Amino acid sequence: MATYEEAFATFTKELDALGIHYHEDMYHAIVKHLGPSIHDNDASKVACSDPSELETVKNSFLIGKLGMEDSPRLDEVIQEVCHALGESNRNKHRATFYYLLTAILGKESIFIEVEE
């Protein structure tokens, strides 16, 4: 099993490869929120081709954690992130996926203190 630091390095490499600049403290907070699941090969990834997986992302993370109201916008932003991480990319790390969802929806304050 990879250490937290090794897992974090793997996840941030994904963002770096995509040319996405990220807020390190927020990324750490999201990775910590995911807990031990970051070490499980299956649980640490999001399968955009699996509708039940995307429903779980919407219900557990967007509605449950971020406090969003269910709406078509949530499905749109999930698809936006699926596309941004690459349609053929089978290794969409959940930490990166959640980071992008949080940033797109402007919900950073759930994980870090945001200056107004």
- Residue 14 sits at the vertex; the CA angle it makes with 4 and 86, to the nearest 5 degrees, is 135
Tens of pLDDT, residue by residue over 72-111, are: 999 999 999 999 998 888 889 999 999 999 999 999 999 9
What tokens appear for 100 in the block? Answer: 């992008």
Tens of pLDDT, residue by residue over 32-73, are: 999 999 989 899 999 999 999 999 999 999 999 999 999 999
| pTM score of the predicted model | 0.92
Domains annotated for the chain, with CATH where assigned, are 4-110 (1.10.238.120)
